[in-house]
Every structure is written in C-alpha cells, then in structure tokens.
Chains A and B, each alone.
Chain A
Amino acid sequence: MSDLLGFVLSGLVSGALYALLATGLVLSYSASGLFNFAHGATAYLCALAFHELHSGFGLPAVPTAVLLVCAVAPALGLGLDRLMFRRLARVGETAQIVATIGLLVALPALGLWTVELLEDAGAPVRPAENQFGLPGVGPSPAVSWQVADGVGVDSDQLITWVATAAVALALWVLMRHTPLGLKLRATVDNRSLVELRGMSADRLSSIAWMLSSALAGLAGVLATPLLGLSAHDFTLFLFVSATAAVLGRFVSVPLAFAGGLGLGVLQNLVAGYAGFAERITGFRTAVPFLILFAGLLLLTRRGRTAGTAVVDAPPVDPQAGLPWSRRWGPWAAAAVLLGSSFYTVTTPFWSGLLAQGLALSLVFVSFTVVTGLGAMVSLAQATFVTGAALTAGLLMSHGWPFAAAAAAGTCAAAVLGGLAALPALRLGGRALALATLALAFLADQVLFQIGWLRNGDTGWPIPRPVLGPLDLNDDRALGVALTVLVTAAVASLGALRASPSGRAMLAVRSAPAAAMACGVSVVRTKLVLFTLSAGLAGFGGIMYASYNTRVTATDFTAMTGLVWLAVVVAAGLRRPQFAVVAGLVYVLVPQVVADHVTESPHLPVILFGLAGLALANDPDGYCAAVPVRMHRRRAARAGARAGAGGGGTDSAARAAGTAGEPAAGGGPLADGRPVAGPGAAAGASRAAPPAGPPAAPPAPPAAPAAPAAPAAPAAPALELLGVRAGYDGAPVLHGVDLVVRPGEILALLGPNGAGKSTACRVAAGLVAPLGGRVRLAGRDATRDDPVARSRAGVLLAPEGRGIFPSLTIEENLALYLPVRDQRDAVYERFPGLAGRRGVAAGSLSGGEQQMLALAPLLQRPPRVLVADEPSLGLAPRVVDEVFRLLAELRSGGTALLLVEEKATEVLRVADTVAYLAHGRVAWCGPRAAVEADRLTEAYLGLAAAARQVPGGTGTVEGQEPGPGGHVAPPRSGDGVRP
C-alpha cells in the first residue's frame, strides 16, 4: 500500500510539470488555434536563463525565478505572438505545425548562441553543457523528509507542488472571476464575435500567449533540478504533456490540468508495476508515448479527418496554363546542369555533399505525397527510412543483392506506412501529426531496439551497388544516378498528380464526404497515400544509407523526422521539385555557412528555425513564393500600365478588367446627396450613374410616403458609398450605396448570393472594401477594423446566433453589460433567461439564443445594428418577438440595417427597403412604394417576364434567381414614384 502511495505522490511531481505545460499548450492553442511544438523549447530557454543568471551572474534564486516567470517569459510570448503566431493563425495548419517545429530547434540554439556570445564578451556565464544536479529555486541539495515508510518527499518536489497548486488557483480565479478571464474564454468560444463586440482578439491572444509562455517558464525553472539543461528532454516532456492537452481537447484548462497530474501518476504506476513487459526491450521507455497515442485515438473528437484543405486553400498558380516547356524547362535544365557538374566543376567534397543532398531529396519528396497531396502531416517519415534501411541491410548481410534488398526494404517501409495510416483514418490535423510522432517514438524505442533487426550499435553495412560498368562507389557516379532517380521520382509524382488517382487524392484532401459521395474510397486513398509516401521515404533511406555505406538504428530518429518536415515545408510542399531544393539546401547550407560566415554550429540551426518565421508570410514556402511574388509584381506593373488606380496589387488587375463599373465616389456622391433612390438603381445597370432626380429616402417613419420632402433628416448613422467588395478574386459587391439613419430600419432584401451578408460584413468591418467608402455618423471609417467599428457603435448580429455557446447566460450578458443593474433589467424583461442564468448558452433553443443575443442591446442600444437574418430558422411566434425587439431598438434611436429573406415580416417593420441583386442595389425606396410584383421581380432577379409571376410577396424565399437574369432592370424607374 505504501508502495502505491509513494508512486502516486512522486508521480504528482512530473504530473505537476505536465499540468503546467499542458495548460500553457491549451491557452496558446485557444488563443491562436495552433499547437505550439516549441512550448518545451520556451521552458528550456527559461531554464537556461535561470541557470546563467543564478549560477553564472550570481543573482539570488527566487527573485531571478520571479523575474523570468513574470517578465522575461511573457515578453518572449508577446514577441513571438507579434512576430509570428498572430500571422500564423491565418494560414493553413501544416504551416502552423511546421513553423513552431522550426522554433523548437531555433530557440535552444538561440539561447546557446547568446551564451556563447556573452562568454566571448567576457560575461561571467557558465557553460551550458555537462551540467548536472543544477540548483532550482529551493535549497541545493534538496532537503528530504520521510513521510511514511518508503515514502519520501524532498524540497524540490514540495516547491513544485506548491507552485503548481498556486498557479492552478490563480488561473481558476483569473479565468472564472475576472472580466479578462471572461473575455479570454469568449475568444476561445468565438473569436470573430469577440471582435464584433469591440474587444480586440489580437490583444487577448497576446495575453494568452504571455500567460502560456509564463507557464512554460515556470515549468522550466521548476524542472531545472530534474531535467538539467537538455533541450531534448524538455521537448520530450512537452510531447508527453500534449497527452494532457488532448484530454482537455485543447480547450479546457481544468481538464488539461487534471490530465497532466493523472498522467504523471499513471506513468509512475506503469513503471512500478509493468513487470510483464520486462521481456520487451524499450517498453518502459515507450510508456509515455503509448499513453499519448492511445489518448489521441480515444479522446480526439472525430472531426475533419483528412487534411485541412479548407484553410489550406491552394495559392494562385501563376504558372497554370503555361506550356510544358515553360513549367518544367528550368527544372529540367537544373537537373542536367547538376548531373554534368559532377564531372566538371565540383571537388570530391562537394560531389559527396551533392550526392548526400540528392539522396535526402528522395526522402524529402515523400513529404510532398503525404503532406503535399494528402494534407496529412506525417512526423514518422524517419521511421520509414530507418525501417527500410535496416531491413535492406539485414537482407544484404544474408547475401541478397542490392536491388532485391532495396525492393524488400521499400516494401517494409510501405507496410510500416500502412500501419501509420491507421490513425489517419480517424484523426486529422494536429492530432494526426502528434499520433504519427508518437508512433515514430514508439518505433525508435521498441521496434528498432530489437537486437536482430538493428544489430547493436554496429548496424548493417550497405555497400553501394555496382551496375555493370557503373560503379556507384564513386561519389560522382552515385550523384548522377541519384540525379536520374530524383528526376524520375519528381516526374512520376507530377504525372500522378495529374492522373485520376491524383485527383481522387486531392478530392479526399479537400472534402472527404464529397469524395465519398463520388465513389472515391477515402480509406483506400489515405492508405495509398501513406504507403506510397512511406515506400518512397524508405527507398530514399536505402539510397541515403548506401551513400553512408552503413545504417544504424540511431541514424534517423523521430526528432530527425521533425526537423526534416520543417525543412521541406519551409521550401514548399506543393511541388515535388521544391523538396529536392530543400534536400540540397539542408545539406549544403551548413557547410557554406561554416566556410564563409561562422564556425558556430548554432547559426545554421537558427536559420532553419527562422524559415518557420518566413512561413507566417509565405505559407507555401520559399520556393513557391518566388514565382507567386514575381507574378504579383508583374500583375501590379500591368495594372499600373492599365491606369486602374486604387485597390491592392491584385485588385488593380481586376479593376482594369471591369472598368465598366461605376467609379467609386463619382456621380451622385459628389454633391453629398444620398443616393439610395431610383437614380442609383437606374445607374447600377448603366455604365455611369445619372444625376437623376434626388430622392432622399424618408427618414422619419412618420412620413414614409414623402420621399421628396427632405425636411431636416437626421444625419446618416451608417453610409456605404459605392462599395465594391469580394473574396480573393471573386467580386461580390459592384458599387453598393446604402444609407441608414438613426431611428430607421433599412431592410435589405435580395435572393441568395446577391451579396447581402457581404454588405453586412463590410458594414461591420469584417471585409475590407476594394473600393468605395464606409462612413459612420459622417466620419470616414473605411479603414477601421471590426474592433474600431464596434467601439464606434456599429454592432453586427451575425448570421446564425451571435452568442458564445460555452459561456453561461450570465457571462454572455456580462460581456456586453458589465454593470449588474443592467443585467438585472434584462432578466426582468426576459424572465425566461433569469431562471437559467448559470446555464451554458449553447444549450438554449434557437429562439432563446437569438433573444439572448438581442436582449442586452435594449439596455445599451448601439448606434447602428446590422442584423444578418435575425429570424433565420426561428418559429413564427419567435420571429414576431424578434421583430418587436428590433422595432423597440429603433424607437430607442438605433439605426438598423436588417437583412432578411422573410420579406413579408420585414416589410411590416421596415422604413426603407433596398433590393440587392447581383451585387448592386436594384431598387431602393420607402416601404410604401414597394409593389408586390416589383418585390418578386427584384427578389428573383428576373427580367420583365417576372411580371407574370403571381403576386407572391413573402413566399419567394429560398428560390434561386433564374440563370438568365443578369441585373434586374427597373421598369424605367416610374413605379418608384408614389
């Protein structure tokens, strides 16, 4: 029994460290959605800094620790967030995973390099190597107490427990009982809604990164006596604690915390009682990774299983459509040059390096299959390499010829790849990356520890093949042969991509469900991708081993695979030839740096790490960035020549092509008069808006039928003037003018795809217009982001429900109404909410959720409310209530822009009505001027034929506009006049 107690107690020590790291992981993940592989490196950096400041500079332990945890580590987190994480949050998952892997190697190197430089400068630093038994915060050596028979506790353990408990308490108070914590949790729940509510999600995510970094720092300082200064150990520790983060599903801090503690105990119990595993070498070593793997499989929610192609949208391919010679010519020429260089210019040393780089390229090309084509991040490629090379070596030692052994080794790797694909059937994204990493560690620690397979530390000789007169023992001949092999691999992958199977792979990557519906087997495709990639990696590994002429089980470890992936992704995954560049760069750069820049081995490592930083800007890698950037520059030049001003570089070209649109800011806007009126509608269909009769919309609802009486209308609260907007190459709005005045409801009607939601998003600042202006209360707000818009009083109630589902009703209200009295007033008005204030908002019915979203606005009416389909999916009775609420807001002076498809209901409350069709305002006028068939016509986007449609006014919802209808031409503008 005391055994058990002892195991549990001391298991809580590593458990506490796991908990700290896991909590940090969850915080940073929820802040920017990326799994920070470099979290352990941050901890290491703090441990190193603690060692240098405390032992080297002689600063006292506790103040140093406080300084590091409360100031230095948060500053590091803030800096990284600003430089990198913030931008990474907007790129694809592969780039996210890889960028932090770059940091994982770069941060420790940076720390060690700093120490090296300080030492050269004569500072009293201590060497960072061979340091054991380092002092922590407490007394050194640690004081120990015997609690019970066989159960001991020492001061370092005690400090870890106390510090962790204090942090747990502080985090709980912060997250549950402070406004900041509430906002942080809201950000986790719905980042964009947080911005729409006027809170800067960027600032909140900076805070989360600072907290996360501080926790890593604390773990680093506490772990110093245990782990010493081994960056490797800190990283391993982090991977284990990832299990706890998985347990918290990367969002729940308390679960992750508890998971960390439990993990430490579990690990200790297995170590204590795993007598059954004694015959399996490496089993105990592998326990944490077994737990990680099992945890991922069991606990990860089945989500998107293939890649993350939705956010991984392929970039514009500037070379698309070019002839074969233009696309491949430069690469073919490079291959020929490289091949001939072996016999002309390179010295033996550089020939050898080039051959090594080419062999590695074969391995690297395998990444473009599984990660490039399949969008599945595999961190187990090094395992396939080792497996293949060991198999081939084993067989060659039994007298097999090279070709047969290589084929067998490749098959062995393919089988391993098939095994590694099994988790991929269930997992995707970072969970899959972690699972393959766990498998890689398991293989290192168990599979490759099998004596007959690895042959001890000696490994197996892999003599280079001799093919007739071609003796590959000559580096130059090997180089040429590898050039040919690499070219063949690249060419066949290019062909594969263009083949039906390649298209099936891309289909599975972007939409597994749709691919399945088309008869593509997702399971088979994933298996094929993994097997193919593993086989290729294995074959590359055998070639690499034959370059070395030997393979040992420790030549390519899981960590090697991690670095490889970072190097390949930094170059680019979209094309196999980029991987070849990566292979050559990986081998050549360190030698070039050593020759010409510095002898310090840290610099190349830092350079590779910084390549991850570059990913934040060019998520498709530096190779892909070159043609894209050149293309952009060309396009910009072309755009400049075409004389189309304004817009970005891309939009310039577009603007040139669509010059027929009304110029922003021209025509009726010049005289400052509002344009929402028949003139604008007419103008929209013609090239230039005419200066038609000014028809100011009726501002006061009292005089809806008096458009020609602009008697002292209130100043517009929100104006969209000639707004053009769209999404990456797809224009949606072609010059929209809308004006909303205080105390007025402008209903925006139109068919699906007319651009209603885009107009709302432009109004709220979520989409920056390509042209035109947005004015708030007469002030130009075009450049303002959502946060600034929201602070200026514009509130967007987005499509769906504008609530935070994980927060309680009370917390949802508190985000908008910090004062308790105001919340009480809401409860008074809506007693249904009052009874359930502690209930998570996500569990409310749709109608209740919408009421919850709108109710607090009555207490603090915004200047402008932009409501995107507030009645969507609600029961008729609730719809009535919603519209009553909106009308109430209007009488409170709020200007409302109301997007609706339920035209009948909205016409009852609207003061002004605008029809949007094909990104243009087809008609705008007072409600009273709305004619039933005009509504139908505009709504359906039909031409004059629409007049035959029997007068359905509110029943057209859901119908698609006819294919022929380009722009609803107004009937000569007469019907607008009352």
Chain B
Amino acid sequence: MSRPIRTIAAVAAALLLAGACNSASTGGSPDEKGSAVRGVTDTSVKVGGIVSMTTASGYSKKDTDLGARARFDRANAEGGVHGRKIDYLGAQDDGQDPARNLAAARRLVQQDEVFAVAPMSSTTFSGADFLQKQRVPTFGWGTLPSFCGPSYIYGFGGCMVPMPGGTISQTWPEGLKKVMGGSAGRSVAILANDSDAGTFAIRTYRQSFASAGFEVTFAKASVPATSVPSDWSAYTKEILRSDGGKAPDAVVSVMQTPYNIGLFTAVKRTGYDGVLTDPTDYDPGLLTKSATRKALDGVHVLLSFQPFEQDSADMTRFRQDIRKAAGKEVPLNMHMMTGYMSADLFLAIAGKAGRNLTTASFQKAADGFSDTGTMVGDRAEPKGQKESFGCGALVRLKGDTYVVSAPFTCYPPIPFS
C-alpha cells in the first residue's frame, strides 16, 4: 500500500469510528427533547406547507397555499385551537422535483421546526418517509400512495389511491348513473395515458365501472404520456367503433386537461353526442378562454369535494374566507379547496387533541376521529389512511358555467381486486 492510500485509509477509519460512537449514542431517533414539543408554544402552533408552484410542465398548484391560509386565518380569528394561534409559515415550492420535495420537508422540520405540515400537495412526495420517521403529522391531497398507510400522513379526502386489499371509490360510476339514468345496457369507453399510472387507472376504473353495471367496451392506456398528440383521429376512431362498431354511450378520460381538450374536441368533431367525462377539469379558469370552454362544453367532471356551485353554509364560509385571505375577489379552484380542507382536517384533529398538544396526543386524537357533513363528506381516521371517504359529485360545463349534474353524495366503496 502506498503512503497516500494508507493515510486516507487511516483517516477514513478514524472518521467512521467517530461516526459510529456518536450514532450509537444518539441512536438516530427523531429529536424530541424533553417536554418541549417541536413547534408548539403556549400561544402558538407552527405549521408549514409543501406545494408545487413552479414547474417545467406549466402545471401549478399554487393556490393550495391560499386555501390553507384562508382556513388558518379563520381559525385564528376564532381564537385558535385551545388558545394557540396557528403560525402558518406558508408553503415551500417543490417544483415537482423529488429532491426539492424532500429538502422542503427537511427544512420545515429541522430548520423551521413546525409541528405539522399542511398542506402538502404535489405530484411527488419523497419527503413522506422522512416526515413519518420524524413523527410530523402531515395533511394533503391523497392522490399519492404515501397517503395510504403511514400513520402520520393524512389525505384530506382520505387515501385516493386504491391499494391491494383496499377498496375503490364508486363516486364516478355512481355519479354517471345519475347523469345517464342508470347503467343497465350502457357502454363506456375508458382512455388513459400509455404509462404505468395509466395502466393502473385502466385496471381500477374497468373494475369500478363494470361493478356499477356498465358495459366496458374499451379500456386502453394508449395515449403517449409525455406530450399531447397533435392529432387524435387514431384514438377517436378506435373508441367510436368499440361498441360493436357503434360509439359507446360514454367516453371516460382518465387524463390531464391538455389531453382532455384534444380528445373531446376530436370526439365532438365526429358528431358524437354521448356523455363525456373526466376527473380533472374542474377549474373555473378554464371558463375564461373560449377555446377551452368550447372543447369542454357538456363534459361531466368528477370531483371529490362539494362543488362550488352547490350552496351550503360551509361553501359560503369558504368563499368568504378565500376572499378575505386573497384580499380581493378571485375565481375559486380546486387547489384552494385542497389547501383549505387539508388545513381543516388538521384543525379538527388538533381540536380534538385538547390543550395538551403533543405528537402523541395528536395521534391519539386522530385514532378514532370522525365527523360528518363536511365539504369532503364524512371523515373518519384511521379509515382515511386506507381508503378514500368515498364522496363526490359530477358537474357539467354548460355555456360559461359549471352546473351540478350529480350532487355531492357519499357512496359505499367496493373491494379492489
């Protein structure tokens, strides 16, 4: 061995030894020192969020932050939770980048020392393991698998990813039944992106629609997933001949807005007059542009919370809170609802935990928590960490407004096979 290598080896061994001694003594456990609970003082609770705001794809969930702020502002105006004001730090931008998502989670916990993370809404959640290990209650949009299972992570509408051995929510086919006047003898075609996620969606919804009584005549994950096709004729031709050479009664798209615009425009140009439906296009911003208004006109959109068009005391308060937090009248969108209801679930559980707020007391309160009649339906934990709350509505884009076509209802789920 040459001298340099020996030197390096010796230094390395020394460093590792030091590391071993220290890691053995601290044991790598999350840092909860003595009686002081991270982020909780006598008068305040620190909360921060993680939201993807800037992305290369042009898709942003920025308004999630506004929604959460609106909800926390109201809580503080009402005196806080058991005398503690919510110190909401705002949301970190993770840019849909897994590395930044984890860095944001670490910053919130280790640098800002928050008690909880709410809202967390992104397309990636690589900070989930860290938050779970550090015992940080986290609230967000349960469209990612991390919201299903870990005990510290809660989806505001439950876990929305069907898991093996879990259940599938039937809100979509049941809602569609109301629109179409039953499912008997009705055929549906389901189209998704050509990716693993798309394949999974096809598998889920094929079962979901079939068990609601629909005849699924077409279910393919065949649309290129990375960029929107400029031409849809290849797909529309196949779909519109799928029901024994005829067009199916409903076309179900499990894709994002740009794809839906293209698909529905192409389908309509062929003179198709059946039902069109998708789960993503509930965004009043779409109404402001004539092209999208025309493309999505008549489409039934699935949503997992109470539609803004459905009047209720909760919805009125939501409108007021958002207006107050934004400082002006802004068009509502689902990201606001995501943030708002994430914060709401946190507040509800924290309220149940009582004055002595610790991670343990919080978790204890969550275990067995339930309430009813919220804007996301009837909530219950830890059921929500296994399946979605199973409530939803369909709205239809008509002219330049959305109209409720299947009111907000909760349906019993079916087992996922």
Q: Indicate whether A555 reaches chain B with its CB closer than 8 angstroms.
A: yes
Bound Cα distance from A348 to B102, whole angstroms: 14
CB distance from B238 to the nearest CB of A (A): 9
Q: Indicate whether A483 reaches chain B with its CB closer than 8 angstroms.
A: yes
Bound Cα distance from A229 to B161, whole angstroms: 29
Q: Indicate whether A508 reaches chain B with its CB closer than 8 angstroms.
A: no
Chain B CB within 10 A, most for which of A233, A236, A332, A553: A233
Q: Are A230 and B57 in contact (CB under 8 A)?
A: yes
Bound Cα distance from A151 to B26, whole angstroms: 70
Question: In this complex, what residue of A is CB-closest to B283?
Answer: A130
Question: In this complex, what residue of A is CB-closest to B200?
Answer: A456
Q: Are B222 and A480 in contact (CB under 8 A)?
A: no
> Scoring A residues 531 to 549 as 1 if CB is less than 8 Å from chain B, else 0, what string do you get?
0000000000000000011
Bound Cα distance from A328 to B5, whole angstroms: 12
> Scoring B residues 271 to 296 as 1 if CB is less than 8 Å from chain A, else 0, what string do you get?
00000000000010110011111110
Q: A108-B56, A142-B291, A233-B227 are in contact. Are A549 and B12 (CB under 8 A)?
A: no
Q: Indicate whether A336 reaches chain B with its CB closer than 8 angstroms.
A: yes
Q: Indicate whether A152 reaches chain B with its CB closer than 8 angstroms.
A: yes
Q: Are B56 and A324 in contact (CB under 8 A)?
A: no
Q: Indicate whether A457 reaches chain B with its CB closer than 8 angstroms.
A: yes
Bound Cα distance from A666 to B118, whole angstroms: 81
Q: Which residues of A contact B4 (CB under 8 A)?
A: 324, 328, 491
Bound Cα distance from A360 to B258, whole angstroms: 34
Q: Which of A14, A140, A285, A336 contacts B291 (CB 8 A)?
A: A140
Q: Indicate whether A271 reaches chain B with its CB closer than 8 angstroms.
A: yes
Q: A230-B57, A231-B58, A476-B19 are in contact. Are A268 and B261 (CB under 8 A)?
A: no
Q: Are B286 and A133 in contact (CB under 8 A)?
A: yes
Q: Are B291 and A134 in contact (CB under 8 A)?
A: yes
Q: Are B289 and A133 in contact (CB under 8 A)?
A: yes
Q: Indicate whether B374 reaches chain A with its CB closer than 8 angstroms.
A: no
Q: Indicate whether B111 reaches chain A with its CB closer than 8 angstroms.
A: yes
Q: A236-B226, A591-B103 are in contact. Are A488 and B22 (CB under 8 A)?
A: no
Q: Which of A133, A445, A473 contacts B226 (CB 8 A)?
A: A445
Q: Which residues of B contact A491 (CB under 8 A)?
A: 4-5, 8
Q: Are B129 and A550 in contact (CB under 8 A)?
A: yes
Q: Are B196 and A281 in contact (CB under 8 A)?
A: yes
Q: A233-B227, A285-B194, A555-B126 are in contact. Are A141 and B294 (CB under 8 A)?
A: yes
Q: Which residues of B contact A549 (CB under 8 A)?
A: 129-130, 133
> Scoring B residues 204 to 227 as 1 if CB is less than 8 Å from chain A, else 0, what string do you get?
000000000000000011111111
Q: A129-B62, A140-B290 are in contact. Are A555 and B111 (CB under 8 A)?
A: no
CB distance from A439 to the nearest CB of B (A): 15
Q: Indicate whether B244 reaches chain A with its CB closer than 8 angstroms.
A: no
Q: Which residues of B contact A598 (CB under 8 A)?
A: none
Q: Indicate whether B54 reaches chain A with its CB closer than 8 angstroms.
A: yes
Q: Are A470 and B19 in contact (CB under 8 A)?
A: yes
Q: Indicate whether A284 reaches chain B with its CB closer than 8 angstroms.
A: yes
Bound Cα distance from A112 to B100, whole angstroms: 19
Q: Which residues of B contact A756 (CB under 8 A)?
A: none
Q: Which residues A319-339 have CB closer than 8 A to chain B?
A: 324, 328, 332, 335-336, 339
Q: Indicate whether A190 reaches chain B with its CB closer than 8 angstroms.
A: no
> Scoring B residues 103 to 132 as 1 if CB is less than 8 Å from chain A, else 0, what string do you get?
100110011000000000000101011100
Q: Which residues A97-144 have CB closer than 8 A to chain B?
A: 108, 112, 127-135, 140-142, 144
Q: Are A284 and B103 in contact (CB under 8 A)?
A: no
Q: Are A133 and B15 in contact (CB under 8 A)?
A: no
Q: Are B126 and A552 in contact (CB under 8 A)?
A: yes
Q: Indicate whether B368 reaches chain A with its CB closer than 8 angstroms.
A: no
Q: Indicate whether B228 reaches chain A with its CB closer than 8 angstroms.
A: yes
Q: Which of A2-10, A212-220, A306-314, A699-707 contacts B (4 or more CB under 8 A)?
A: A2-10
Bound Cα distance from A445 to B128, whole angstroms: 25
CB distance from A775 to the nearest CB of B (A): 57
Q: Which of B12, B99, B106, B199 contacts A451 (CB 8 A)?
A: B199
What class of interface size applies to chain B in its complex with A? 35 or more
Q: Are A10 and B230 in contact (CB under 8 A)?
A: yes
Q: Are B31 and A348 in contact (CB under 8 A)?
A: yes
Q: Indicate whether A501 reaches chain B with its CB closer than 8 angstroms.
A: no
Bound Cα distance from A49 to B395, whole angstroms: 34
Question: In this complex, what residue of A is CB-closest to B126?
Answer: A548
Q: Which residues of B contact A451 (CB under 8 A)?
A: 196, 199
Bound Cα distance from A456 to B204, whole angstroms: 13
Q: Are B56 and A232 in contact (CB under 8 A)?
A: yes
Bound Cα distance from A469 to B54, whole angstroms: 43
Q: Are A454 and B196 in contact (CB under 8 A)?
A: yes
Q: Are B289 and A474 in contact (CB under 8 A)?
A: no
Q: Which residues of A contact B161 (CB under 8 A)?
A: 457
Q: Which residues B241-282 have CB closer than 8 A to chain A?
A: 257-258, 261, 269-270
Q: Are A554 and B8 in contact (CB under 8 A)?
A: no
Q: Which residues of A contact B28 (CB under 8 A)?
A: 471, 473-474, 477
Q: Which residues of B contact A150 (CB under 8 A)?
A: 233, 237, 270
Bound Cα distance from A261 to B220, whole angstroms: 28
Q: Which residues of A contact B24 (CB under 8 A)?
A: 469-471
CB distance from A109 to the nearest CB of B (A): 8
Q: Indicate whether A449 reaches chain B with its CB closer than 8 angstroms.
A: yes
Bound Cα distance from A481 to B14, whole angstroms: 11
Chain A CB within 10 A, most for which of B195, B231, B257: B231
Q: Indicate whether B361 reaches chain A with its CB closer than 8 angstroms.
A: no
Q: Are A548 and B102 in contact (CB under 8 A)?
A: yes
Q: Indicate whether B413 reaches chain A with its CB closer than 8 angstroms.
A: no
Q: Indicate whether A225 reaches chain B with its CB closer than 8 angstroms.
A: yes
Q: Are B98 and A129 in contact (CB under 8 A)?
A: no
Q: A284-B224, A349-B111 are in contact. Are A458 and B15 (CB under 8 A)?
A: no
Q: Which residues of B contact A133 (CB under 8 A)?
A: 261, 286, 289, 291-292, 295
Q: Indicate whether A227 reaches chain B with its CB closer than 8 angstroms.
A: yes
Q: A130-B59, A150-B270 are in contact. Are A476 and B195 (CB under 8 A)?
A: no
Q: Indicate whether A724 reaches chain B with its CB closer than 8 angstroms.
A: no
Q: Are A470 and B93 in contact (CB under 8 A)?
A: no
Q: Indicate whether B55 reaches chain A with its CB closer than 8 angstroms.
A: yes
Q: Which residues of A contact B193 (CB under 8 A)?
A: 285
Bound Cα distance from A891 to B198, whole angstroms: 81
Q: Are A10 and B12 in contact (CB under 8 A)?
A: no
> Scoring B residues 25 to 69 as 1 if CB is less than 8 Å from chain A, else 0, what string do you get?
011100100000000000000000000011111111010000000
Q: Which residues B310-338 have CB closer than 8 A to chain A?
A: none
Bound Cα distance from A141 to B56, whole angstroms: 25
Q: Indicate whether B144 reaches chain A with its CB closer than 8 angstroms.
A: yes
Q: Are B5 and A7 in contact (CB under 8 A)?
A: no
Q: Which residues of B contact A278 (CB under 8 A)?
A: 220, 222
Q: Indicate whether A484 reaches chain B with its CB closer than 8 angstroms.
A: yes
Q: Which residues of A contact B (CB under 8 A)?
A: 3, 6-7, 10-11, 13-14, 17, 108, 112, 127-135, 140-142, 144, 146, 150-152, 225-233, 235-237, 264, 268, 271-272, 278, 281-285, 287, 324, 328, 332, 335-336, 339-340, 342-343, 347-349, 352-353, 356, 441, 445, 449-451, 454, 456-458, 461, 468-474, 476-477, 480-481, 483-484, 487-488, 491, 548-550, 552-555, 559, 587, 590-591, 601-602
Can you name 10 extra interface pairs (CB under 8 A) apart from A271-B224, A456-B197, A549-B129? A132-B261, A227-B228, A272-B233, A278-B222, A284-B223, A328-B4, A471-B28, A481-B19, A487-B12, A548-B129
Name 27 A/B residue pairs within 8 A (Cβ), A-sorted.
A14-B231, A17-B230, A127-B60, A129-B54, A130-B58, A152-B233, A227-B227, A230-B258, A268-B234, A271-B234, A284-B223, A285-B195, A285-B226, A328-B4, A340-B18, A342-B19, A343-B19, A349-B111, A353-B103, A445-B225, A451-B196, A458-B146, A469-B20, A474-B28, A481-B16, A548-B129, A601-B54
Q: Which residues of B contact A (CB under 8 A)?
A: 4-5, 7-8, 11-12, 15-16, 18-24, 26-28, 31, 53-60, 62, 93, 95, 98-100, 102-103, 106-107, 110-111, 124, 126, 128-130, 133, 144-146, 161, 193-200, 220-231, 233-235, 237, 257-258, 261, 269-270, 283, 285-286, 289-295
The 9 closest A-B pairs by CB, nearest first: A129-B60, A133-B292, A10-B231, A133-B291, A272-B234, A473-B28, A349-B110, A477-B23, A480-B19
